[in-house]
Amino acid sequence: MADSRTSTITPPETKYLKDYRAPDFQIEQVTLVFDLREGVTHVRATSQVRREGAADAVLRLDGHDMTLMSVAVDGVRLTADQYQLEDHHLTLPHVPDQFELTIENEFDPAQNTALEGLYVSKGMYCTQCEAEGFRRITYFLDQPDVMATYRVRIEADKTAYPVLLSNGNNIEQGDLADGRHYVVWDDPFPKPSYLFALVAGDLAVLEDHFTTRSGAPVTLRIFVAPEDLDKCPHAMDSLKKAMVWDEQVYGLEYDLDIFNIVAVSHFNMGAMENKSLNIFNTKCVLAKPETATDGDFAAVEAVVAHEYFHNWTGNRVTCRDWFQLSLKEGLTVFRDQEFSADMGSRAVKRIEDVRILRQHQFAEDSGPMAHPIRPDSYMEINNFYTVTVYEKGAEVIRMIHTLLGPEKYRQGIDLYFDRHDGQAVTCDDFVAAMEDASGVDLRQFRLWYSQAGTPEVTVSQSYDAAAESLTLTFRQMTPDTPGQTDKKPLHIPMAVGLIGPDGADIPLQLDGENAPDDVATTRLLSLTGSEQSFTFVGVKEPVVPSLLRGFSAPVKLKSDLTAADRLFLLAHDSDSFNRWEAGQEIAAGLIMELVDDIAAGRPLHLDDGFSSAMGKVIGDLDLDRAFKAEVLSLPSEATLGQYRSPVDVDAIHQARKFVRHALAATHETALQSIYNACQTTGFYAFTPQAVADRRLKNVCLSYLMTQETPAVFTQSMAQFSNADNMTDEIAALSCMVNSAFSETRDAVESFYAKWRDDDLVLDKWFSVQAAVSKPETQDLMRRLIQHPDFDWNMPNRVRSVVGPFCGQNLTCFHDKSGRGYAFLGDVIEKLDPINPQIASRLVQPLGRWKYYDADRQKLMKATLERILALPNLSENTYEIVSKSLK
């Protein structure tokens, strides 16, 4: 890389999908013995190795940050000249075709702050091996297409670590000398090393039972720190619901006698699907009404289901290589989304998922890290656990589901498992099974796997009154992304409806088709060309088209709909997603007009049509409350920032605030009466109705608070003080910290005093303050990272402070002084040596510099340069920062 940087870093090696080769050796069985002791863990790995490739192939094992003690082949210890030991590899040049390999090594898990491999969290040992953590435990063929059965013996002090867990079945246990004990676990299913797990700790357990559809009993256990035992029932309940759902919807049953979940407070992501021993971030498993919000309850339900669903989509059928990550993640996210839709409100779930996709994935697709759901290359695989691989990957599966229909989709899934159970396969294998089972041609559709970027679809309409026909003409274009130009047209499923003047959908008939037998009012059009027209006949009067219903494809749609059309859709569309979408589009359009007014120094005025449409929504007593809350939630500043470049963060903030303030002023009485009507009585329940009531009530409160009257402040304070659940308590606190009332300080302090011993609630206390869009937040951020409860080793805490500041609080992060960027630079400098995975995630907002004005660009790039010049920058952060500067 020829550039002018002063840094002397050797760039990490780039791995390419095109270079994939099947492994030369397989490991069929491995026996691991762990001796856990203060200051050192000793591991002995005995593997049965078989040659599969060329007779002269060398055995090259992966290994990181360990001390090698010995290597033996078939029981004979090798001398140092019989192997080669490098930083990240152990190579044995001459080995038999089939043999037993024994390796002994040591390391200290307590020193492992990267939280990959075996590490210590609050006094318990735990592991995280996906993607490449197993190589920090022993030298191994640490890649997913090497699948072995595992037997694991764990020895540890019995008092400090009474619970010793690994994958599979507990087959032996007993006491040892010196107060120690051991347990042996055996997992009969061959698995890749990334699914290995070990836990040792002093843990309390919630136990329950499940009987599979075919009558097999399963013991379910959730292990947590003793003080958290009362926060487990919701996760257990979610697990049982997920088990039933997977049997009913996918015909998939659990396959072992035990299913264990362990909650860990120091964890890099949400959770991990290790075979029969799922390890969870406490945030994604613990929930009780007093400490967890409705959002947290929903996340626990979704993540518990997601990890459980991986048992089939990920574990029984796994990925051939890490380029195929979306094979398991896209599919499993689609499964958990559908599960959540079935458990709660389907309409609201879709809206929430699309919000996430647009705000985060569309941003990624238009930034320096844009990649297809099946990337072609990577430096550090942990950087590719992205919203693209996960959420866009799920949209791709959803489109297959849409194109095939539910029955053929299910036949495709059945064929996929018939063909590939027990194998490590590719995304192509998945699509081939879908195609073969359904007869639907997915050749062009496969481009979704290899092409990055968000397609832009433009649609125009022309109505022919004489011919009683409506022609819709679609054009599609996918913008260039780093390393990818000249994109081809994709196969885009476009769900369309036509709405007559009375507000009802009309029956649909395409030109040249017979009149339909059924009166389907949503029609799936397949867009395959760069320009394509569809003519509907029998359209007796002008209609308003409802396009991309249910968000049937992850694209940006530009249409020639007028503001009046959108108001009509907001009032009438039978597709609830599009009804919501119409409101969002109108709001976004108005806010962007106000941004122009601000730039031109014109006075601001709220559009009457929009205000009265929102008034109707607020006053519509028949409208589902959850849905109403979604309609009232305006597009976020981050989403609005994608409408135009350079992004004017201050004007966007001001314009959005103005709209909220003006709406609240006009509809104050109605908002107050809904607030009152949504007050739930009785105990907290996590039911769709109760969740909707709380959500709508708190949306109303936040609108009312824009008026900053003492009365509504008192109302917030009362809600804050009297709340019996975290949803209401934190919502009120959030309203107050964003207001100008000085009494807010008391609320912030009392919240801290009440919750200082609960890590997950304390994270919320940090977050709520970091998100406040006020100048004083700059200094506050410096204080928050010095706070006695701030801990650089705890990903949840670091994320809770840095995430909202850089991701939501755009006026502060992008403050034109550059203070926000400098703060993030300091955070990365401190964090990268401790936890590279978290550092490389948090640094990413700087990569969007090209969307800001010249002064900000300069400051953002300077911060990236500063990070790139840091000595010993991790490969994780190097990849993101160097690509961000290209």
Catalytic residues: 307
Please give the structure tokens belonging to residue 544: 């308003």
Q: Which is nearer to Zn ion, 398 or 764 (CB)?
A: 398
Q: Which is nearer to ligand B3K, 306 or 392 (CB)?
A: 306
Q: Using CB distances below 5 to 8 A depending on partner kind, what does residue 384 bind out of Zn ion, ligand B3K, none?
A: none
Helix H or strand E segment including 355:
helix 346-356
CB of 78 to ligand B3K, least distance (A): 33
**Alpha-carbon distance values, 269 to 198, 325, 764, 837 (Å):** 17, 16, 17, 9
User: Could you say which residues in the range 505-544 bind ligand B3K, by CB under 6 A?
Assistant: none
Q: Does 306 bind ligand B3K (CB under 6 A)?
A: yes
CB of 656 to ligand B3K, least distance (A): 33
Burial class from Cβ neighbours inside 10 Å (0-12, 13-18, 19+) for residue 687 reads exposed
CB of 836 to ligand B3K, least distance (A): 11
CB of 194 to ligand B3K, least distance (A): 8
Q: Using CB distances below 5 to 8 A depending on partner kind, what does residue 638 bind out of ligand B3K, Zn ion, none?
A: none
Residue 870 DSSP SS3:
coil
Q: Which is nearer to ligand B3K, 130 or 364 (CB)?
A: 130
CA distance 493 to 409: 15
Q: Is the peptide bond before 646 cis (omega within 30 degrees of 0)?
A: yes
Q: Does 384 bind ligand B3K (CB under 6 A)?
A: no
Q: Which is nearer to Zn ion, 329 or 729 (CB)?
A: 329
Q: Which is nearer to ligand B3K, 693 or 879 (CB)?
A: 879
Q: Does 272 bind ligand B3K (CB under 6 A)?
A: yes
3-state helix, strand, coil split of the chain in percent (to 5) is 45, 20, 35
CA distance 825 to 801: 14
Q: Which is nearer to ligand B3K, 71 or 319 (CB)?
A: 319
Q: What are phi and psi of 419, to 5 degrees?
A: -75, -40
Q: Does 135 bind ligand B3K (CB under 6 A)?
A: no
Q: Which stretch binds Zn ion (CB under 5 A): 328-336, 509-517, 806-814, 852-860?
A: 328-336
CA distance 741 to 710: 8
Q: Does 617 bind ligand B3K (CB under 6 A)?
A: no
Q: Which is nearer to Zn ion, 271 or 506 (CB)?
A: 271
CB of 303 to Zn ion, least distance (A): 9
User: Binding residue for ligand B3K (CB under 6 A) from 228, 329, 338, 763?
Assistant: 329
CA distance 309 to 342: 15
Site string for Zn ion, 330-359 (x = CB under 5 A): --x---------------------------
CA distance 114 to 119: 8
CB of 310 to ligand B3K, least distance (A): 6
CA distance 745 to 8: 48
Q: Does 758 bind ligand B3K (CB under 6 A)?
A: no
Q: What are phi and psi of 187, to 5 degrees?
A: -110, 110
Closest residue by beta carbon to ligand B3K: 130
CA distance 625 to 692: 6
Q: Does 130 bind ligand B3K (CB under 6 A)?
A: yes
192 beta partners: 147
**Alpha-carbon distance values, 466 to 188, 561, 736 (Å):** 71, 22, 59
CB of 189 to ligand B3K, least distance (A): 17
Q: What are phi and psi of 663, to 5 degrees?
A: -60, -45
Cβ pair 313, 335 in contact under 8 A: yes
Q: Using CB distances below 5 to 8 A depending on partner kind, what does residue 66 bind out of ligand B3K, Zn ion, none?
A: none
Q: Using CB distances below 5 to 8 A depending on partner kind, what does residue 304 bind out of ligand B3K, Zn ion, none?
A: none
CA distance 238 to 231: 13
Residues 6+ apart with CB under 8 A from 667: 611, 614, 615, 618, 703
Cβ pair 576, 632 in contact under 8 A: no
Please give the structure tokens belonging to residue 30: 């491995």
Q: Which stretch binds Zn ion (CB under 5 A): 187-195, 326-334, 367-375, 489-497?
A: 326-334
Helix H or strand E segment including 515:
none
Residue 854 DSSP SS3:
helix
Q: Which stretch binds Zn ion (CB under 5 A): 242-250, 285-293, 329-337, 397-405?
A: 329-337
Residue type, 634: L
| H-state helical runs in 223-324 | 233-250, 294-309
Q: Does 273 bind ligand B3K (CB under 6 A)?
A: yes
CB of 131 to ligand B3K, least distance (A): 5
Residues 6+ apart with CB under 8 A from 545: 459, 461, 470, 472, 496, 497, 498, 499, 559, 561
Q: Which stretch binds ligand B3K (CB under 6 A): 238-246, 305-313, 411-419, 677-685?
A: 305-313
Q: Does 307 bind ligand B3K (CB under 6 A)?
A: yes
Site string for ligand B3K, 713-752 (x = CB under 6 A): ----------------------------------------
Q: Which stretch binds ligand B3K (CB under 6 A): 181-189, 269-277, 411-419, 610-618?
A: 269-277
Q: Which is nearer to Zn ion, 191 or 797 (CB)?
A: 191
CA distance 683 to 686: 10
Q: Which is nearer to Zn ion, 329 or 693 (CB)?
A: 329
Region at 260 (left for phi over 0; alpha for psi -120 to 50; beta for the rest): beta
Q: Using CB distances below 5 to 8 A depending on partner kind, what does residue 272 bind out of Zn ion, ligand B3K, none?
A: ligand B3K
User: Binding residue for ligand B3K (CB under 6 A) from 61, 66, 131, 302?
Assistant: 131
> Pairing mode, if any, of strands 67-73 and 98-107?
antiparallel
Q: How many residues interact with ligand B3K (rule CB under 6 A)?
A: 12
Q: Which stretch binds ligand B3K (CB under 6 A): 45-53, 270-278, 592-600, 738-746?
A: 270-278
Please give the structure tokens belonging to residue 522: 């949503």
Q: Which is nearer to ligand B3K, 273 or 435 (CB)?
A: 273
Q: Does 336 bind ligand B3K (CB under 6 A)?
A: no
90 beta partners: 61, 85
Q: Which is nearer to ligand B3K, 259 or 755 (CB)?
A: 259
| DSSP 8-class letter at 484 | B
CB of 337 to ligand B3K, least distance (A): 13
Helix H or strand E segment including 409:
helix 393-420
Q: Which stretch binds ligand B3K (CB under 6 A): 51-59, 267-275, 665-673, 859-867?
A: 267-275
CA distance 498 to 494: 13
CB of 125 to Zn ion, least distance (A): 23
Q: Which stretch binds Zn ion (CB under 5 A): 106-114, 117-125, 324-332, 343-351?
A: 324-332
Q: Which is nearer to ligand B3K, 330 or 497 (CB)?
A: 330
| H-state helical runs in 756-833 | 759-770, 777-784, 795-807, 810-813, 819-831
Q: Which is nearer to Zn ion, 315 or 332 (CB)?
A: 332
CB of 382 to ligand B3K, least distance (A): 4
**Alpha-carbon distance values, 439 to 214, 404, 429 (Å):** 31, 9, 15
Burial class from Cβ neighbours inside 10 Å (0-12, 13-18, 19+) for residue 855 reads exposed
CB of 284 to Zn ion, least distance (A): 12
Q: How far apart are the first and last CA of the chain?
A: 11
Q: Which stretch binds ligand B3K (CB under 6 A): 107-115, 167-175, 303-311, 419-427?
A: 303-311
CB of 406 to ligand B3K, least distance (A): 24
Q: Which is nearest to 877 in space by CA: 848, 839, 820? A: 839
* Binding-site ranges for ligand B3K (CB under 6 A): 130-131, 269, 271-273, 306-307, 310, 329, 382, 385
* Binding-site ranges for Zn ion (CB under 5 A): 329, 332
